[in-house]
Structure 1
């Protein structure tokens, strides 16, 4: 076995050992057995709040234990493949086993970071709100590119994406949009994308083919589940109804089904127009508002909560977390961690894991942000 592959295997085994200790596998298996018993009880759903908590904990533990067992099995399979290929002097079989090891090494590193997603709401589904900055069509087109980027990332990870609200630009792109991303640790991963994103490119909307700089923001806040109580006085809110915009068939623009809620004390505004029923849109908007207020409170309690303050600043120079340069050269650089990519097309197609893992590790372990800019 080549030394490089042997070293990767040792790193993978160390990662698995750390994961097992972090999770306390024996204790987790006993707890999962208890939760499975509770889940089979016909009386469980007499208390919906408790049932929801049980099912969530069960899903989380089952996923964590399953990932560790799968890794151990896949490592054994890869080693067996390499040994079989070496015994039979079959280079293609050896290569197949080595490629499996390289893939497992990357996944082990990612899983190790994911186990550190232990924040109060990290495991929750999440809302992602995207807003264009100043600059009209240019920034609105950029906002739509970011919406696609986040959606593609979610689809790559088998998360479910639902569109809650979309406000189209006059010529192209979007002024704003809000989506819900549903899946385990959706908020934990996507919270690293909160902030201002900067694009530098030759504008397709400029007849003189000049280079333009555009800004748009991504704002991420967790879906509030039944375990979390958020008290909002209806008297503190202004509720407006209006006609939906965008694609949607004959029903669109015929009734005031879209709902916008403004929380007057904080100035937080949420909107939903995804359903034909005003009642359903109102319920979703209330959930979004609860989530926004909870997220704001959550940030206050976090020791190193500077992301929210940065996200709420002007969408423009000096506030960006990441720059995407398409011309005259190609480079994506995260200004917090220094992580770069020379293939912006891949990043814009949802290849965000490297950026997310570095930002998450920085949030967990501390360390100053990288403030160097690129032109």
Structure 2
């Protein structure tokens, strides 16, 4: 990095720096763990020769802390996918169930936001479409942090909600669905060609719940990539120029993911687990009534504390999936 001309290409330089940081994020925690284990062993040898109750309690506490940190390090060792180190783009869309499904999509939006906050990751809303009565029709988030994509990629699939709907005056139990797709956020140096003639741009007025903060001009942007049929939109900014830039970023991420899937198509046909994360598969159920249970249908992990899960504590599900399927499961889908 100290070489002449390294910073001439800013995008490539930033990518190299990010990769170096990612490597340091492996090496430095390992060195710290190794040093703590060595110190604990030395303290254990000292206590064998000269017993001390207070020091023994401190050693027990340190041993428990090392065990927890080692578990976290082992989990990260499963993040070996080519793009696992990248930031993540999450796309949430309400499915069958009307207003109830739109409310469910908003609940998932909050769950992933809280998860990101717990991990100290940055969060940016790239696009959001409000529901007519409640909730959201869909949203696109960018989660910024090392290995955000690696941790979140197991969340791709259909999420099912079972509860007594607050929108049903007869208090009947409803089943609703929302889809979640997770993409790696790619940089400009990745060769994804988007020609101007392949893009159809539509502009429209941004909409919001209750008519609040709605632009009076057509600043919202919808882009259609004609060769692939991929459609993206952005209406968060008041500037049409900024909305177009945000939509282009979304489009580039989606096309990159499509290219990865195209390259892995042959392998995916031979992969027995490829259907686990395909579009339309139900990966997890969240039951609020008549009992409480969150059940991951891929790993069969069941957690009864549904409120804790909805507050963003989904690491157990992520860990169980990564341990069972490893780093390659999503890349070969």
1:238 CA drift (Å) = 1.5
Pairing partner for 2:298 from 320, 330, 336: 336
Query: Which of 44, 52, 77 is residue 88 of structure 1 equivalent to?
Result: 52
**Kept in 1: contact 2:276–2:283 (CA 8 A):** no
The residue that corresponds to 1:188 in the other structure is 150
Partner residue of 2:197 out of 235, 239, 246: 235
* Greater RCO structure (CA 8 Å; 6+ sep): 2
Does the 8 A contact of 2:277 with 2:283 survive in 1?
Answer: no
Aligned residues: 321
2:322 matched to 1:360?
A: yes
Q: CA deviation at 1:114?
A: 1.6
Distance 1:241 1:253, change over 3 A: same
Does residue 345 (structure 1) correspond to residue 307 (structure 2)? The answer is yes
Q: Could you tell me which residue of structure 1 aligns to residue 179 of structure 2?
A: 217
Question: 1:104 is matched with which residue: 66, 70, 73?
Answer: 66
Q: Mapping of 1:158-307 within 5 angstroms?
A: 158-246=120-208, 252-302=214-264, 303-304=267-268, 306=274
Q: Distance in 2 between matches of 1:247 and 1:41?
A: 53
Q: SS state of the match for residue 241, structure 1?
A: strand
Unaligned runs of 5+ in 2: none
8 Å CA contact 1:79, 1:97 repeated in 2: no
Maintained 8 Å contact 2:92/2:140: yes
Q: Which residue of 2 aligns with 1:45?
A: 7
Does residue 310 of the first structure (1) align with residue 272 of the second (2)? no
Q: Which blocks of at least 5 consecutive residues in structure 1 are unaligned? A: 1-37, 314-318, 368-375
Query: In structure 1, how many angstroms separate the alpha carbons of the residues matched to 2:146 and 2:189?
Result: 16
- For 2:206 and 2:40, locate their aligned partners in 1 and report how far apart those are by CA, in whole Å: 53
* Structure 1 residues 47 and 139: alpha-carbon distance in aligned structure 2, compared to 1, 3 A threshold: same
Residues 238 and 325 of structure 1, relative CA distance in 2, 3 Å threshold = same
Cα distance in 1 for residues equivalent to 2:250 and 2:197: 17
- TM-score, normalised to structure 1, is 0.77
Are 2:221 and 2:247, in contact at CA under 8 Å, matched by a contact in 1? yes
Mark the CA change 1:63 to 1:365 in structure 2 (over 3 Å): closer, same or farther: closer
